Amino acid sequence: MEPLLKKYGAKLVNQGLCLPGAPILGGLDADVLWNREGDEIPVLEEVIDGLNINSILFARPAEPFFGILDALAEHGSDPGGSIRPQDTETRTFLHDIPVVNEFTPGPIIAALRRRKAVIVRGRGIVAFGIVSPEQAFITYSSVCFSTFVKLFTDFAAGPVPPGTSKTYGDIISASLPRYGEFMKSFTAGPLITGPFSGAETAMEAMCEAGRLTVESRMVDSFFGNISCRLDRGILISQTGSSLDEMEGMIDLCPPDNSSTAGITASSELTAHRGVYANTDRGTILHGHPKFSVIMSMLCGERDCADRGMCHVRCDKRRMIRDVPVVPGEVGTGPTGLCNTLPPALTGRGAIVWGHGLFTTGKYDFTDAFRNLVDIEMACYEEYREIFSRAG
């Protein structure tokens, strides 16, 4: 348990979600073990006792996430005291994010009985795992991602309540240069080039590209997926795998479904198959870059009959520069992205509304990764223009 606590504490820091020394993680072994000492531990131990859980995480997020949490808790929550982002990560994983006013066991336990995380005003986020600390880490990172997307989207879509515009605007004004500087400073790229001589080399390239996708913060380590087309079928990351830890977590799915690998493969396998069937591309990389998601959710059609159902259906042809934006739900239903993505992903990339960015490569991940970063930078620049006009 101790190595896991240290591992996920380090991941929170490495991904810019917490400052060093901020995360407190506890995990149930014979006793509850903690990654460090902290005055919050007595409260967290009561929370563990009050819930049937294996692990717990509490941390004050790094900026801009902490300021975003406080701003949304003050201005962006519903009458019931919950924050309701509309991105796909929230729809499928978080549903909503409760907010409580006190760092005390009662309110925290009550909130965590119905949701995976709770925001404590002025303090931070509490998240838990039923099986392992990884689940708490995943939830925490999702809260940071979804609240970032919500505040930036709400401000740009407008109008926001009186008095809120300056609060949101100040956060965005401070955040945009910081994000741009990080993106411009990230110059690494995949070194393994194709065409690949076999599955082993292809899997090494997938693992390398997955790690770079996480390090560049195009996705947290859990969400996203990656695949490569071979003569024998499609190599694809397993569902629930971490892109920065894919060794042993890649399935080979033959074209005739003669293997059971599809059971553990990414839930978006059918979408990847559709793209490969429609194009000559050899690789697909899927991440959740923040501004690609934000820009996908910004639409000027305020009186659209499908408003509020944009993630399911949209009859408008939308583009962000040369990149199409399409609706599509996770899965294989009539409105699933297995149907909406393949016709759109014929160029360097396509964005699924509120979900994330899919890019392709010819032989390897050098161009797929560069497309991911370049399209995200284009979306970032588009948002900067919107913010500049609003100011």
Residue 129 to residues 62, 139, 167: CA-CA distances in angstroms? 21, 9, 33
Residues 227 and 371 grouped into a single domain: yes
**CA angle, 222 then 227 then 233, to 5°:** 140
Report, as an integer, the average pLDDT of 269-282: 94
Residues 228 and 302 grouped into a single domain: yes
Residue 229 lies in a domain: yes
Considering its fold, how many domains does the chain have in total?
Answer: 2
Residues 19 and 145 grouped into a single domain: yes
Residues 260 and 322 grouped into a single domain: yes
Question: 219-269: per-residue pLDDT in tens?
Answer: 987 789 999 999 889 999 998 899 999 999 999 998 876 665 556 778 889
Domain that holds residue 289: 199-390
Residues 258 and 137 grouped into a single domain: no
User: Which of the four pLDDT bands, split at 50, 70 and 90, describes residue 159?
Assistant: confident
Q: What radius of gyration do the chain's Cα atoms show?
A: 21
Residue 339 to residues 226, 288, 299, 313, 334: CA-CA distances in angstroms? 18, 20, 22, 12, 7
User: Which of the four pLDDT bands, split at 50, 70 and 90, describes residue 390?
Assistant: confident
Q: Is residue 342 predicted with pLDDT exceeding 80?
A: yes
User: Which of the four pLDDT bands, split at 50, 70 and 90, describes residue 314?
Assistant: confident
Question: 191-210: per-residue pLDDT in tens?
Answer: 999 999 899 999 999 999 99
Report, as an integer, the average pLDDT of 137-146: 96
Residues 148 and 206 grouped into a single domain: no
Helix, strand, coil shares, percent, the chain, to 5: 45, 20, 40
Encoding tokens for residue 351? 């964005």
Residues 40 and 132 grouped into a single domain: yes
Residue 196 to residues 58, 91, 225, 252, 349: CA-CA distances in angstroms? 43, 37, 19, 15, 22
- Assign residue 309 the CATH number of its domain: 3.40.225.10
Identify the domain boundary among 122, 156, 190.
Answer: 156
Residue 258: predicted pLDDT = 61
Residues 258 and 360 grouped into a single domain: yes
Residue 122 lies in a domain: yes
Residues 114 and 17 grouped into a single domain: yes
Question: 344-361: per-residue pLDDT in tens?
Answer: 999 999 999 999 999 999
Query: Range with the lowest mean pLDDT among 114-118, 213-217, 357-361, 386-390?
Result: 386-390
Residue 169 lies in a domain: no
Residues 277 and 381 grouped into a single domain: yes
Residue 319 lies in a domain: yes
Residues 253 and 147 grouped into a single domain: no
Identify the domain boundary among 100, 124, 156.
Answer: 156
Identify the domain boundary among 156, 189, 219.
Answer: 156
User: Which of the four pLDDT bands, split at 50, 70 and 90, describes residue 329?
Assistant: confident
Residue 193 lies in a domain: no
Q: Return mean pLDDT, the chain.
A: 92
Please name every residue paired with 336 in a beta bridge, in sequence order, or none if there are none. 329
Residues 210 and 341 grouped into a single domain: yes
